[in-house]
Amino acid sequence: MTCNAYVCARIAETAKRIDAGIVTVLGGQHFTTTPEESLEDFPEIDYIVRGEGEQTIVGLLRTLREGGDLGQVEGLSFRHGGRVVHTPPRPLIEDLDALPFPAYHLVEEHLGRYHFTMMAGRNTRYLILEGSRGCRHKCVFCTQWRHWNATWRTKSPGRIGDEMEHLRNAFGGQFLWLTDDNFDYPRRGRALWEELHRRGFTDEVAWFCQARTDDIVRNPGLVAKLRSVGNHWVLLGIESDSPEALRYFRKGTRAGDAVEAVRVLNENGIFTQSMLVLGARRDSEETIEALRRFSMELSTDLAIFTVLTPFPGTEVHAEAQKNGWIEDTNYANYDMAHAIMPTQTLARMEVQEQLYRCYRSFYGSIPRGVKGLFAKNEIKRRAYRHMAAKRVLHRLRTLA
């Protein structure tokens, strides 16, 4: 991702310092969008794999080993003859089921470091699972849909079930983080429920997913079914309470969808997490205050407030760059927690302060904290007790 660009370059630099003959290859959304800039700025990078990388990296390694023509490897960018060369883009993989399972066995000795304190037991094994790639929707701030060519491809329910069983049986996975950008209840919710139900999945393996509010509103029955096979946690891309902001973001949802989606999830005992965005060009102190109040009234179990960030490759970036709104070009700050641009009425640092205010308001609420400490939902109870312990520890360190 963009905020990791410099760290990636430093790692490549370190490798080159150890042995100049080490070949360095970078990929992912940021470098796919900025191959020319990155190869010009970072001489320690040899190759950039653009887009979907599995077939390209294999083709690159094979070509390097055999001394072949790198120009024949699709989806590659590199220097040649004093200029940057971009080979034609590689078509997306048609059958995601054909991909092998991630090679967790190569890092099995380190998996003990990854555990989740918000589930039953302090050392609940936490593993990542990919069920699909991409998103059919085209939000203006999102890097994902463009990276995957505005398509949504899913692995089959059988393949997802196989991988979940593999992570559970081979590595003791008890909490699985489904990394899909959009779960897409309408397209595969029922089929996945049928598959996991057939395999006997219940609460022994809990899993997380990201979903659209309107999908949940239209499919409350599927929400209940998927909860019965382990879906304990749903992240909602709510973004805003403002119809104007939602139209600008090209979200395609309504604030009312968020209210109804949270109600459906709460009724099914599912832990809710909301994503909210502030700092759009027309945002003011008043509109951000309205967003803050909306987040309090909506009362999801967790709220993540972010500032609108002009990631390279997004429409937000193109608009901001054209109009000279970008005031911070340090990619390390492109983490959605640092204000990069002002709004029409707020200076950049005022936007930053508004972000802090939203967090202080939501997590500084004593009634909310007490309610969370004694919540019936186990994840919420553990989450709030974990945060309370961290606050106490921080306070003690401050006093010391």
Contacts 24+ apart (CB under 8 A), 21-26: 23/47, 23/64, 25/49, 25/57, 25/60
> How many residues can be counted in the chain?
400
Same structural domain for residues 77 and 126?
Answer: no
Q: Name residue, tokens 């029922």.
A: 190
231 and 286 assigned to the same domain: yes
- Indicate whether 250 and 313 sit together in one domain: yes
Q: How many domains does the chain have?
A: 2
* Domain boundary residue, one of 86, 108, 138: 86
Element (H, E) at 133: strand 132-134
The confidence score (pLDDT) of residue 38 equals 97
Q: Which residues contact 204 (CB under 8 A, 6 or more apart)?
A: 168, 174, 230
In-domain check, residue 372? no
Q: Give the domain range for residue 207.
A: 122-363
Q: What is the pLDDT, as a whole number, of residue 215?
A: 97
Residue 242 lies in a domain: yes
Q: Are 25 and 77 in contact (CB under 8 A)?
A: no
In a domain, 25, yes or no: yes
Q: Tens of pLDDT along 251-273?
A: 999 999 999 999 999 999 999 99
Q: Look at residue 262 and tell me if it is in a domain.
A: yes
Residue 127 lies in a domain: yes
Is 110 part of any domain? no
Name residues of the chain where pLDDT drops below 70.
117-123
Asked if residue 210 and residue 82 are part of one domain, the reply reads: no
Question: Which two three-digit tokens encode residue 53?
Answer: 């990388």
Question: In this structure, is residue 97 part of a structural domain?
Answer: no
Q: Tell whether 11 is covered by a domain.
A: yes
Q: Could you report the per-residue pLDDT of 334-355, keeping only the tens digit for each? A: 999 999 999 999 999 999 999 9
- DSSP output for 289-330: HHHHHHHHHH--SEEEEEE----TTSHHHHHHHHHT------
Q: In this structure, are 318 and 251 located in the same domain? A: yes
